[in-house]
Amino acid sequence: MITKGLETVDIAFNVENRSITLPINACVVAGWTGRDLAAVQHHIDELAELGISPPSQVPLYYRVSTALLTQSDKIEVLGEGSSGEVEPLLIRAGGKTYFGLASDHTDRDLEAHSVAASKQVCAKPIATTLWDFDDIVGHLDDMRLRCWITENGQEVLYQDGTLAGIRPLEDLCDGAGFDDGTAMLCGTFAAIGGVRPARSYRMEVSDPHRGKTIDLSYTVKTLPIVA
């Protein structure tokens, strides 16, 4: 459950079979976080050919409204040009860091004009379960994230990778100013078959060392664009 105030969003999570409520007053979406810098530059060059401006720095930290965070299994978007992507989620609260799962749902049509604006106009679904970061920090690179979409009536694998493909999360925290009350989406992997919209998403992050999984699923309703 999410309780929204003027500046802080209080979000309830499950951590090791107990419920905790964490206050969040800042939300950051980290972009261009791939560990292979040559691959990141290749992607930047590809997007430049499509008219999308290159980032001012790598990685880049986009601030978005905390009101975008949602645990609902349904979101509404404007038009047909948005898509989600599986990402690790970090939350800092009470001097502790927690690890979870999120989708950086983004308006791809608007992205061609402003990446920052495209991040701000879509809800950011997040899972209801968190793990204590201290329990997994020793084997982060082995954590596997996957995303499936429903396409032509069938579920297909859309993204698949381990955290070894993303910059070390501790480094991302240092660059973001990861203070108490901050939630950060930490980047993602290339889409299998290319980035494209879908009406439903199923995501998971699995810890092979502990045999545990965090799941996240949601559907998308598109709203008409009228003039």
In this predicted structure, the answer to whether residue 126 has a pLDDT above a threshold of 90 is yes
In this predicted structure, the answer to whether residue 211 has a pLDDT above a threshold of 70 is yes
Which pTM was predicted?
0.93
The confidence score (pLDDT) of residue 45 equals: 79
The confidence score (pLDDT) of residue 4 equals: 60
The verdict on domain 2-223 having CATH code 3.90.850.10 is yes
Question: Sorting pLDDT into bands at 50, 70 and 90, what band is 53?
Answer: confident
Q: Which residue has the higher pLDDT, 58 or 171?
A: 171
Chain Cα centroid distance, residue 80: 20
pLDDT in tens, 56-80: 888 999 999 999 999 999 999 999 9
